[in-house]
A = this chain, B = another copy of it.
Amino acid sequence: MALGKDYATQECSIARALEIVGERWTLLVVRDALYGVRRYNDFLVHLGVPRAVLSARLKTLTEEGILEKRRYQESPPRDEYVLTERGIALWPALRALGLWGREHFTERPLRRFQHVNCGTELGPYGECPACGTFVPAADVLSVPGEGLDPDPADPVSRALLKPKRLLEPIEIEHG
């Protein structure tokens, strides 16, 4: 979003939410974090976003308590960005938005989501039709769909080709 990211006159929690996550690239950063991306460089190559924008988004997301920056090694010092509870709570919204995009603007599903306990594909509201419960993000298994490029260029997309739980960190193959 550009120029005055706030919606001053709007007395509305949707507007409040959009002030936080409504800027360009922000929700895609959160999506990647749900998919298990954690490191600056992985966000960078996977999103294709300018570094300045990525830095700014990671900063505000951290300040708003959606991501947490934490040290994962001391020498050399390196940090990673991990979703907080507040960030994980965006999963239903992203799920709903993604489903809308798929149903109205994409031919074949790019990614399917299953309940990890029973393998059942999630219903439209993120519920498990078999178990009759809403599936928390950590119990969602993401499996690649037919529409997905089977041989992507960047290592992050390649790592995301394996079935994998949400939030579980991705494993990059080097070489």
Contact = CB atoms under 8 A, between A and B. Distances in A.
Interface residues of A, number: 57
Say how many copies of this protein the assembly contains: 2
A63 interface: no
A42 interface: no
A100 interface: yes
Contacts of A159: none
Nearest to A90: B100
A17 B94 CA distance: 10
A166 to B, nearest CB: 13
Interface of A: 1-3, 5, 7-18, 20, 22-24, 27-28, 31, 47-48, 65, 86, 89-90, 92-106, 109-111, 124-127, 134, 147-149, 152, 157
